[in-house]
Structure 1
Amino acid sequence: MRLLSTLYRRFSRLIHEVAKFGTVGALAYVTQLATTNLFWYGLGLPELAGQALGTVCATVVAFLGNRFWTFRHRSHSGLLLSYALFFGLNGVGLLIQLACLWFTAAVLGLDGPLARNIAGNVVGVGLGSLFRFWSYKKWVFRAPRQVISRDPGPA
């Protein structure tokens, strides 16, 4: 029990960030599904346009949730710079997802609905989410700068 308590104290901030990141991601995923289907079936937009607009809506939800809730304790550069970095890193996450789909179909020769969903929506989203979490912490929502005192203190 003591080991668990020690581990929790050591990693509590990371545990809370991961939980919040997952919650925001789930909300963004639901937003993606709802808005894409609204654009397709409610507004009659073509498939690619509906998918692109649904992705943009989900990315906005994810950015706002992560900036103002998940990583609110971290430094924030300008909103425009943060948003540009966020979209760019989401693009890399999407490439990771597409690479998983490509590998499964082209290299492994698996191209059925189950293989596509496992490759893209389980493995690809999982690896892409790991990359996003790491990269958001590193570049978008950086840790606050520590002030180093040059005062040697009392002699």
Structure 2
Amino acid sequence: MREFLARHPRIAALAAEVGKFGSVGAIAYVVQVAITNLVWSVTDLSLIAGQVIGTTCAIAVAFVGNRFWTFRDRPGTGLGRETLLFLLMNGVGMLIQVGCLSFAVHVLGLDGPVATNIAGNVVGVGLGTLFRFFAYRTWVFPRRAEDPEPTEAPESRVP
């Protein structure tokens, strides 16, 4: 695998980016699930409200991790612009999650704790994550047109 990645630096760079994105996402996911379930268990708020609160907290964790680690090699386009686009893309991602939860509860009639966690925190988060990765790379933290694509595997670059 290492030889393959050494011969294909663009794939190696993408793999490194996916790994970092996944690590940040895993931390944000733990935050989201913990807070969502905490809200569901200790308040009278709706399932949807709990999902929104948990996801909002995870969005803050994800912004810091992605801006300053995953996509740190990309030129900044302004913190205000990046924050606004990040929030918009996460709003879409949250709608995907809440849509999955709503579909399970209101269409399929599945409102138990296991079903709601699977719908909102597995299916919804999974689909939302695919959208977010594409959106972050494309719109939030884009490469500038004049920036070259990586020509070396990430681990062989000299800082």
Q: What is the TM-score when the length of structure 1 is the normalising length? A: 0.73
**How far apart, in 2, do the equivalents of 1:112 and 1:53 lie?**
19
Alpha-carbon distance between aligned partners in 1 of 2:134 and 2:96, rounded to the nearest angstrom: 14
Superposed CA deviations along residues 67-125 of structure 1, whole A, max 9, x for unmatched, are 11101112321101110111111111010011111222333333322221111111100
Distance change >3 Å, CA 35–CA 111, structure 1 → 2: closer
Q: 1:46 to 1:85 in 2, by over 3 A?
A: farther
SS in 1 for 2:144: coil
Q: Identity over the aligned pairs, expressed in percent? A: 56
- Cα distance in 2 between the residues matched to 1:89 and 1:3: 36
**1:19 and 2:23 are equivalent in the alignment:** no
In structure 1, the residue matched to 2:94 is 94
Q: CA deviation at 1:50?
A: 8.6
Q: 1:52 to 1:95 in 2, by over 3 A?
A: closer
Give distance in 2, aligned partners of 1:64 and 1:134: 18
User: Which residue number corresponds to residue 85 of structure 2?
Assistant: 85
Alpha-carbon separation, structure 2, partners of 1:129 and 1:98 = 13
**Structure 2 alignment gaps of length 5 or more:** 149-159
Alignment CA distance shift 1:11-1:129 (3 Å): same
Q: Which one-letter code corresponds to 1:98 in the other structure?
A: V
Alignment CA distance shift 1:142-1:109 (3 Å) = same
Per-residue deviation, 1:24: 0.8
Partner of 1:113: 113
Larger Rg: 1
Q: Which residue identity does 1:132 align to in structure 2?
A: R
Which one scores higher on RCO, CA 8 angstroms, separation ≥ 6? Answer: 2
Alignment check: 8 A CA contact 1:28 1:62 kept: yes
Deviates more, 1:48-57 or 1:116-125: 48-57
1:40–1:102 distance in 2 versus 1, CA, 3 Å: closer
Change (3 A) 1:128 1:37: closer
